[in-house]
Chains A and B, each alone.
Chain A
Amino acid sequence: MTPKPDRAARKHLMSAPVGSGPIARRVVLGVVGIVTLLVLVAPLALIFSSALAPGLAGLLRNLGDPGTLHAMLLTTITALIAVPVNIVFGLAAAWTVTKFAFPGRTLLIALIELPYSISPIVAGVAFLFVYGSQGLFGPLLEQLGIKVMFALPGIVLASLFVTAPFVAREVIPLMQVQGTDEEEAAVTLGASGFATFVRVTLPNIRWAVLYGAILCNARVMGEFGAVSVVSGNIRGQTTTLPLQIELLYQDYNVAGAFAAATTLTAIALLTILLKVLLERLSGDEQRLP
């Protein structure tokens, strides 16, 4: 920070950056502050105040609704399956595109990022045309008596589609910067591939993996569009937490919908908090020369 010269001197020097004058600063900060309060803070405040409108006991009673409890369970199971699978995929994908040069590498990176650009609704519809009764494998699955659509496997598959880039996107840039020297040294000294990965690579990228996993978890738990297509929204069976919110809202049970929403909001705020903490942790390590 430059030392603060008095106003006359500063005007004379004429080197103050644009917008650093007291009036410009106050106006810009004021506008941004007010809009942020209206746009970002008000929705959060409303969620908690609406959920608490029937009192704390009322909130707890709404959270104890059997449908909401079942939705929490289903959402947790989905996340417990989808997040570890996504971590394995993310690590494999990052290892492939950062440690090796091969034809089609750029295409592979583009493919990893592709789900990020596709509407969740399109993803849901696409899965229906694979596993649904109208789909490619639909008749075969029906004969075998395997239910994918309108059941847990479909929900997991849709979640995996929308979150495919999450871990990979965090890990790839980091592994790219770190290069291959350390791994090459380890392998040359006789370490096995697995030992190299666990002892050399993983310590370098652990925070990025964790960060990607946290983001992936938040998205899996909150996914609405893709899951609402493939789940069929069967009350008490395939309603995940976001779908339960919609269901309660359509039943005019607004307090119940907001109670269910507080759990997901709490997870979202926790995700942001962990992000800030992880950035600080990994920042401390990575800024070392």
Chain B
Amino acid sequence: MPRSVIPGFGLSFGITVLYLGAIVLLPLCALILKASDIGLVQFWAIVSSPRTLAAIRLTVTMALVATLFNAIYGTLLAWVLARYQFPGKRLLDALVDVPFALPTAVAGLALTALFAKNGWFGAPLDQLGLQVAYTPLGVAIAMAFTSIPFVVRTVQPVIEDLGTDVEEASRSLGASDFQILSRIILPSIFPALLAGCSLAFARSLGEFGAVIFIAGNQPMKTEIVALLTFIRLEEYDYQAAAAIACVMLAMAFVMLIITNTVQAWQLRYLGRSGQ
């Protein structure tokens, strides 16, 4: 027990460990236990089956597309919120939180109706010959919507803290706007942008509610990994469900390590530039 005059270590530590053990660790251990029962050969057969591979490919590709969109839109949004004064700024700032506050099922329902053939966006896009709902593009849009706040909220404080002294110094030395943007501002926000992108990508990989409404969920075409897990469960194929869930868990851990590494780098970077 640590030495401190403050009481309550035993009680609070006990509650914390018991809770995390029962609510978080026990289920995850049960899942890994179940998957380890399958046997390596069978596990590999499930994971490398064409349908699983197609689902993984679709999920990863569309998560990348969604993250790319968020990298651009999120940075612009963060820039606008950090640098400009304009009427409605508070409202815009509050709107950024909508994708986190709005339940994923509601987001999925709304996006599907927007992009359906007779929807507000779907009808004009259909005229152009572009179909979004029930295609991989719909998957990307659902993923992009649910992960909008990540890049904004990681980049916004960095731009706010950037200060204009370096910018002014470089301008007095004759740098152009483009040079200042590409050599000073972008490098300064890059670690935060990368951290935000890895959070958004991780979230997109695991997204379920918003995607299944708009995806159409055709096997091999628009079926994401999370849905395939769910379908295997409904088919009472518990081994396959456990195996695919384990793959998702492994992807989550990899993303967690990447995110933590990037964030540690970002902190070192901020420390070095003296902010």
Residues of A within 8 A of B (CB): 14-15, 17-20, 24-25, 28-29, 31-32, 35-36, 38-44, 46-47, 50, 88-89, 91-93, 95-97, 99-102, 108, 111-112, 114-115, 117-123, 125-130, 134-136, 157, 160-161, 164, 180, 183-184, 187-188, 192-193, 196-197, 218, 221-225, 228-229, 241-243, 245-246, 249, 254, 257-258, 261, 264-265, 268-269, 271-273, 275-276
Decide: A125 and B109 in contact? CB cutoff 8 A.
no
Decide: B27 and A225 in contact? CB cutoff 8 A.
no
Decide: B12 and A92 in contact? CB cutoff 8 A.
yes
- The complex places the Cα of A6 from the Cα of B92 at a distance, in Å, of 29
CB distance from A175 to the nearest CB of B (A): 12
Decide: B101 and A269 in contact? CB cutoff 8 A.
yes
- The complex places the Cα of A22 from the Cα of B102 at a distance, in Å, of 35
A-side contacts of B249, CB under 8 Å: 118, 122
A-side contacts of B177, CB under 8 Å: 18-19, 24
Question: A100-B2, A121-B245 in contact; A258/B206 too (CB < 8 A)?
Answer: no
Decide: A92 and B145 in contact? CB cutoff 8 A.
no
Q: Is the C-beta of B252 less than 8 angstroms from some C-beta in chain A? A: yes
The 7 closest A-B pairs by CB, nearest first: A222-B103, A119-B206, A126-B27, A224-B209, A193-B7, A225-B208, A268-B101
**Chain B contact residues: over half helix, strand or loop, or mixed?**
helix
CB distance from A188 to the nearest CB of B (A): 6
Contact among A28, A188, A224 with B76 in the assembled complex (CB-CB below 8 Å): A28
Can you add 16 more A-B contacts, CB < 8 Å, to A38-B121, A102-B1, A187-B5? A29-B84, A40-B99, A96-B13, A99-B4, A99-B9, A111-B20, A117-B255, A125-B229, A125-B245, A126-B31, A196-B6, A196-B7, A261-B110, A264-B102, A268-B101, A272-B97
Question: A18-B177, A20-B83, A118-B249 in contact; A222/B102 too (CB < 8 A)?
Answer: yes
A-side contacts of B105, CB under 8 Å: 222, 224, 242-243, 245-246, 261, 264
Task: Report the interface size class on chain B.
Answer: 35 or more
Q: List 25 A-B contacts (CB under 8 A).
A: A15-B171, A17-B83, A17-B167, A18-B181, A20-B83, A35-B76, A39-B148, A42-B120, A43-B110, A43-B111, A43-B145, A99-B8, A117-B259, A118-B28, A125-B31, A126-B31, A128-B238, A129-B27, A187-B7, A224-B209, A241-B103, A242-B103, A245-B109, A257-B109, A265-B102
Decide: B11 and A225 in contact? CB cutoff 8 A.
no
Decide: A225 and B226 in contact? CB cutoff 8 A.
yes
- The complex places the Cα of A97 from the Cα of B12 at a distance, in Å, of 9
CB distance from A215 to the nearest CB of B (A): 8
Contact among A39, A118, A192, A196 with B206 in the assembled complex (CB-CB below 8 Å): A118
Decide: B27 and A161 in contact? CB cutoff 8 A.
yes
With a 10 A CB-CB cut-off, give which of B8, B104, B106, B181 has the most chain A CB atoms. Answer: B106
CB distance from A183 to the nearest CB of B (A): 5
Question: A47-B110, A121-B208 in contact; A112/B7 too (CB < 8 A)?
Answer: no
Decide: A126 and B7 in contact? CB cutoff 8 A.
no
Q: Which residue of B lies closest to A135 (CB)?
A: B30
Contact among B79, B83, B145 with A39 in the assembled complex (CB-CB below 8 Å): B145
B-side contacts of A19, CB under 8 Å: 79, 83, 177
- The complex places the Cα of A95 from the Cα of B105 at a distance, in Å, of 35
Q: Is the C-beta of B189 less than 8 angstroms from some C-beta in chain A? A: no
Decide: B164 and A17 in contact? CB cutoff 8 A.
yes
Decide: B76 and A32 in contact? CB cutoff 8 A.
yes
Decide: B101 and A122 in contact? CB cutoff 8 A.
no
B-side contacts of A229, CB under 8 Å: 230, 233
A-side contacts of B11, CB under 8 Å: 92
- The complex places the Cα of A228 from the Cα of B226 at a distance, in Å, of 12
Decide: A129 and B31 in contact? CB cutoff 8 A.
yes
- The complex places the Cα of A28 from the Cα of B77 at a distance, in Å, of 9
A-side contacts of B172, CB under 8 Å: 14-15
CB distance from A24 to the nearest CB of B (A): 8
B-side contacts of A18, CB under 8 Å: 167, 177, 180-181, 185
